Chains A and B, each alone.
Chain A
Amino acid sequence: MTDTDIKYLLPEIPELHKIEVYEKEGGYEALQKALAMKPDDIIEEVKKSNLRGRGGACFPAGLKWSFMPKNSERPKYLCVNADEGEPGTFKDREILEHNPHALIEGTLIASYAMGVTTAYVYIRGEYVKWMKLLEDAIEEAYAKNYIGKNIAGSKYSVDIYVHRGAGAYICGEESSLMNSLEGERGYPRVKPPFPAQFGLWGCPTTINNVETLANVPVIIKNGAEWYLKIGVEKHPGTLLYGVSGHVNNPGVFELPTGVLLTDLIYKYAGGIRDDKKLKAVIPGGSSTPILRGDSIEGVRMDADSLIEAGSSIGTGGVIVMDEDTDIPKILERISRFYHHESCGQCTPCREGTGWMEKIIRRINRGEGTMKDIDVLRDVADNIEGNTICALGDAAAWPVQSAIRRFRGEFEAKIKMEKTVAA
């Protein structure tokens, strides 16, 4: 099934954010169905559906849930990751605004399946508007007894609370998110132990992205078989692709996985502004390796296809750059971001991100040397894989890929200055 009309995350239904409308459209039926199922059967169904995390890592959601201990004496927790912060990503806020009950319903089903008694939605501090919208929706769901004691007439009780962050990109990393929620500095934790063993306050915890959980109700309602037919089988479902940058019609598009990157840019996002040529694309948020515009023919937007193309699906945040874009200048901005957001725990990341920014700035100012390009590459290679969390990799990939695919632009900046100086 490559039906591009399937839209279950952001269907065009007016006022869907109101619980009455959501219920009228069949909302909370999946929860009723789930509550009549055995928790393990729900996890099995989600495993079978191949639902993969939408926060960037594509980890199988059902498998993650199955890591939670069964007969834990300690309370179990679910954290909903609404700390949307990867540059180029602006999809979760669409769910919070237009379909918050899908998130709530998914959270409830996940909580029931794992035996969670409290779920916390960790939302980025700047999303004040969306936090209030979500709080309103949660209040509606409490009033209708979908959340709280003995939900929907069952024996199961659960609470959902919203927790507001305070401006730190790193808190979107799951272990940092838990530390932040505990009232600590947002430092990532060393793994293992993994959150399912030692999470919030040392208790079993699962962290899922907003979009991941919002996928759960349709899987339970229609079954894994149905879900597997949407998009690519190894990475099924729809994705919320956010297209930004030099396109005529930027925005969030809900389409099946595996859609052509060229279709996304030219068909859905209306093509490049002012009829310019495409120079480069960052396909999944700022940390994913940059692709040359002349290399994206036939590239599909799913986990495996993008790895094959030399990048990553990440969060599905596609950043489009036209022929006039100054790649070293863009890279400087990206590197500045990761330098700013590095939490400072690991030396390679803390020092390396600063060095990378400094070297790229030097090249952009016309003060660079040819050796700088290799030093830059060397620093990136020594950050990658040598840090507690993925921020180090996220900082290294853009640098490595920009040098590999646009080396000429860096060299031109260096040579140009030498000519002027001579």
Chain B
Amino acid sequence: MLNETRREQLDKIIKRYPYKQAALLPALHLVQEQEGYITKEAMQYIADYLEIPYGHVLGVVTFYTMFYDKPMGRHHIQVCTNISCQLLGSETLVSHISKECGIKPGETSEDGTFTLSEVECLGSCGTAPMMQINDDYYENLTVENVEAILKSLK
């Protein structure tokens, strides 16, 4: 399941803990980084690799919001709508992005380019409103610069 580089990474990570199970979150991150989301097969693979029950892996995957059980768009747009961003217009941003990409929050565009999500506080309140696209933060947003960012991604 994991390619060789990532398997080596995982082996290195496992050594940091007295029990293999502690490497579960790191392992899931590695799988998702490679596959884009986490399948049943991947969970079984990790369960076997870390010698823990499949049910335990499933329980952990479903607890954390950053693990996906289905493919996301190439660009996963996550707009923070928590209080500081809300005060500075994140609602307008969400509806604008929604219109531009033709998807509602929680949806993925048909061509698989974009997924739009509303998320909780991302720790960028001083540069609100903000969004995260894949791993990158985009801060101090306005309708204008959001448009430019979306254009550059299309």
Contact = CB atoms under 8 A, between A and B. Distances in A.
B21 A182 contact: yes
A72 to B, nearest CB: 15
Contacts of A185: 59-60, 63
Given A167-B66, A168-B64, A337-B82, A127 B123 contact: yes
B151 to A, nearest CB: 23
Interface stretch (A84-92, A356-364, A411-419): A84-92
Given A87-B84, A129-B137, A167-B64, A183 B132 contact: no
Interface in B74-98: 81-84, 86-88
B135 A183 contact: no
Nearest to A93: B123
Interface string B10-30: 000000101101111110110
Nearest to B87: A245
B123 A169 contact: no
Given A168-B63, A244-B128, A128 B83 contact: no
B124 interface: yes
Interface string B122-135: 11111110001001
A75 B52 CA distance: 23
A252 B127 CA distance: 10
Interface residues of A, number: 56
B64 A88 contact: no
A183 B121 contact: no
Contacts of A183: 19, 21-25, 50, 52, 60
A125 B30 CA distance: 12
B153 to A, nearest CB: 18
Most B CB atoms within 10 A — which of A129, A333, A343? A333
B45 interface: no
Given A84-B123, A87-B125, A245 B25 contact: no
Given A87-B83, A185-B60, A319-B83, A166 B28 contact: yes
A125 B66 contact: yes
A157 interface: no
B123 A286 contact: no
A282 B125 CA distance: 13
Contacts of B52: 183
B3 interface: no
B25 to A, nearest CB: 6
B119 to A, nearest CB: 8
B137 A333 contact: no
B67 interface: yes
A89 B25 contact: no
Contact of B83 (A90, A330, A340, A343): A330
A245 B123 contact: no
Given A167-B66, A319-B87, A90 B124 contact: yes
B52 to A, nearest CB: 8
22 contacts: A75-B18, A87-B120, A87-B121, A88-B83, A88-B121, A90-B123, A125-B64, A166-B66, A166-B67, A181-B22, A182-B22, A183-B19, A183-B22, A183-B23, A184-B21, A185-B59, A244-B87, A245-B87, A252-B126, A286-B82, A319-B84, A333-B86
Interface of B: 16, 18-19, 21-26, 28-29, 50, 52, 59-60, 63-67, 81-84, 86-88, 120-128, 132, 135-137
Across the A-B interface, give the 10 residue pairs with the lowest CB-CB distance, nearest first.
A183-B24, A166-B64, A167-B66, A244-B125, A167-B65, A87-B121, A183-B21, A244-B84, A185-B63, A128-B135
Given A88-B121, A343-B63, 4 more contacts: A129-B135, A183-B52, A245-B88, A282-B83
